[in-house]
Amino acid sequence: MSDPSKQKSESEWRAILSPEQFRILREKGTEPAGTGKYEHFKGQGIYTCAGCGTPLYKSTTKFDSGCGWPAFFDAIPGAVSRQEDRSFGRIRTEITCTACGGHLGHVFQGEGFDTPTDERHCVNSVSINFAEDEKAKA
């Protein structure tokens, strides 16, 4: 399904995103390892795209991988798209928000983590926001 927010111009994205969000979400940058606010965050709720607000990950799929970025073993169905990334002289799988095309990070498989999917979605904290589950507070 096409989302009108994918059609934003560069100047429109610059107007709604911080410079760091623009660098990562729109220019496929990466935040330095160990610097993101969600790497060790343990709240219960939903992680959404910082660009368009689309729900991407449930907190129940987040795990501590020790990689320096927030790690999830699975995304909300249909929320995250995968593309081959041949930058930096190697082949990786880039993950983006399906709704707006914002760069989230990369997904790695077969690393041996004790998770249901044996995948690690390595996500930039700058690319996501967190919405607390109201039921978890009760």
Q: What is the dihedral of CA 34, 90, 77, 9, to 10 degrees?
A: 80
Catalytic residue at 97? no
Nearest to 51 by CA among 77, 27, 82, 72: 27
The amino acid at 22 = F
Q: Judge whether 38 and 46 are in contact, CB under 8 Å.
A: no
Given the residues 49, 52, 100, 122, the one annotated as active site:
122
The residues carrying an active-site annotation are 122
